[in-house]
Structure 1
Amino acid sequence: MDAEMVLQEDDMESSWTLLSWVASCLMVFGGALPYLPQYQEIQSSGNTKGFSTRVCLVLLIANILRIFFWIGKQFELTLLLQSVVMILTMFAMLHLCCTVQNTNRVSTKQHRLSDLDFQYFWKWSAFEDYLFSSFGFTVLCAVVTLLLLDSAVFVEMLGSLAVMFEAMLGLPQLLQNFHNRSTKGMSVKMVLLWTVGDIFKTTYFVMNESPAQFWVCGSVQILIDVAILLQVLVYNQSTQLKLG
C-alpha cells in the first residue's frame, strides 16, 4: 500500500513538473504569439495603419526596465527570458513596419532620428533609428542602475515603472482606434489572444507569488484588452452597417 502511495506521489510530482515546464514555456513565448497574426496581416496587406508602433515603444521600455529590475531583485528566470523574447519580437514588428512604409512611400522625404523633430518621434523611416534610440535608453538605464543598485527603494521603483509601462501596453492602440474610429487590420481573434494571454499571465504571477507589481500590471492589461475587444466589435459592426 505504501509503495502504491509513493508511486502515485511520484506520478503527481512528475505531472506537476511537466505542467510547470509547459506553463513556463507559454510565459516565455506566449506574450509574442498575439503579434504573429498582426505580423502576417501587415505583411499580406502591405498596410500598417491598423498597428501602432507606440505599442512597440511601450513594450521595449517596459521589458528593458524589467531586465534591470531583475538585476536588482532576482525573480523567476522565466520572466527574464520573456522580456528578451518580447524585445526581439518588437524589433521584428518595427523592422516590418519600416519596410512596408518605405515600400509604399510616395514622397522621398525620410524622417530620421537625427532630424530631432519631436513631431515624428518614434515615426522614423529607418529601422536603425529605433535600434539606436533603444540602445541609448538601455545604456542610460544601465548607468543609473549601477549607481543606485544598493537602494532597495530604487529597485522597487524600477519594478513599478516597468510594470506601469507594461500595464499601459494596449493604451496606444486603444487611443489610435478611437482617433481613427476604425480597427482596420485588427481581428477579434487577435484581441482574444491578447486577452487570454494576459489572463494566463496574471494567473501565473499570482500562483508563483511574483512581486505584487506583476499581478497589478496584468489586471490593468486585462481591462484594456476588454476595451479594445469592444472597439473591434463596435467598429466592425458599424463598417458592416455602412456597407449594407
Structure 2
Amino acid sequence: MDAEDVLQDEDLDASWTLLSWLASCVMVFGGALPYVPQYQDIQRSSNTEGFSTRVCLVLLVANILRIFFWIGKQFEMTLLLQSVVMILTMFAMLHLCCTVQNTNRVSTRQHRLTDLDFRYFWKWSAFEDYLLFCFGFTVLCAVVTLLLLDSPVFVEALGSLAVMFEAMLGLPQLLQNVHNGSTKGMSVKMVLLWTAGDVFKTAYFVLSESPSQFWVCSSVQILIDAAILLQVPFYTQDTRVKLG
C-alpha cells in the first residue's frame, strides 16, 4: 500500500469519526429540539391549553427507566446522555406550564401531590410536586433494580417497558387534540421535528445495532406522529364545515 492510499484511508477514517460524532450530538440534543418552539409558543401566548403535560409524564418515566436499563445492560453512552438531556427538558417544560397556569388561575384552590387525589394526578399546582413524584419513582426503580439486577429477564423487561412508554410519547398529544376537537395551541413545528427526529433515531438504532427495543419503539412513534399531523388538516376542515 503506497503513501497515497494510506492518506486516503486516514481521511476516510477521520470523516467517519466526525460523522459519528455529529450523529451522536444530534441523538443527545435532537430529542429536546422539538420542544423549543412549543416552549416559545407557551411563553408568548401565556396559554398551555394546546400542550399536554402528560407528554412530560411519558418521557420522564421512559427515560428514568431507560437509565436503569443502561445500568443492567450497558448500551451506547450517547443514549444514556440523551435520557439525561430529555429529563432536564421535561422539567423545564413542566416548570413553565406551572408558572403560566398559576399566573392565569382565577381560583385560589391549589392541587398538591400530598392531597392524594387521583383526579388531579399530574395536574398539580406546584412544580415541586412533579419533582417529588419523579424522585419517589426513581427511588422505587433503584430499589427494584438493585434487587433484581442479576436477572436477565428483568433487565430485558425493564428495557421493553422503557421503550414502550417512549413509544407512547405522542399519544397524550393525540388524545388532547381529540378532547379539544382542535389542534389550536399545538406547535406543528414541534410535531414535524418529532417526526424527523424519530425517522433519524430509527435509522441510527438500526445502523448502530442498538437493542431491538429501541428501533421498534421509534417505528411506533413515527406512526403516532403521522396520526397527529393528519389531525391538523382534519380539524381545520371540520372547523370550516361548521363555520360554513
TM-score (norm 2): 0.97
Instruction: Decide which moves more: 153-162 or 183-192.
Output: 183-192
3-state secondary structure, aligned to 2:134: helix
3-state secondary structure, aligned to 2:80: helix
Instruction: Decide which moves more: 134-143 or 168-177.
Output: 168-177
Q: Could you tell me which residue of structure 2 aligns to residue 229 of structure 1?
A: 229
**CA shift at 1:241, angstroms?**
5.8
Q: Are residue 145 (structure 1) and residue 145 (structure 2) matched?
A: yes
Large movers: runs of 4+ above 4 Å: 240-244
Which residue identity is paired with 2:55?
A: V
Identity level (%): 84
Instruction: Decide which moves more: 49-58 or 231-240.
Output: 231-240
Aligned-pair RMSD on alpha carbons? 1.2
Instruction: Decide which moves more: 229-238 or 107-116.
Output: 229-238
Q: Could you tell me which residue of structure 2 aligns to residue 161 of structure 1?
A: 161
Cα deviation, 1:167-196, whole Å, max 9, x if unaligned, reads: 001111111111111111123322111100
Aligned length: 244
Matches within 5 A, 1:5-154: 5-154=5-154
**CA shift at 1:5, angstroms?**
1.2
Which residue identity is paired with 2:99?
A: T
Instruction: Decide which moves more: 225-234 or 205-214.
Output: 225-234
Q: Could you tell me which residue of structure 2 aligns to residue 172 of structure 1?
A: 172
Q: Could you tell me which residue of structure 1 aligns to residue 186 of structure 2?
A: 186
Which residue identity is paired with 1:90?
A: M
Cα deviation, 1:116-166, whole Å, max 9, x if unaligned, reads: 110000000000000000000000000000000000000000000000000
TM-score (norm 1): 0.97
**2:163 and 2:213 in contact (8 A); partners too:** yes
**2:41 and 2:187 in contact (8 A); partners too:** no
Unaligned runs of 5+ in 2: none
**CA shift at 1:242, angstroms?**
5.4
Counterparts of 1:240 and 1:44, CA distance in 2: 26
Counterparts of 1:237 and 1:4, CA distance in 2: 62
Unaligned runs of 5+ in 1: none
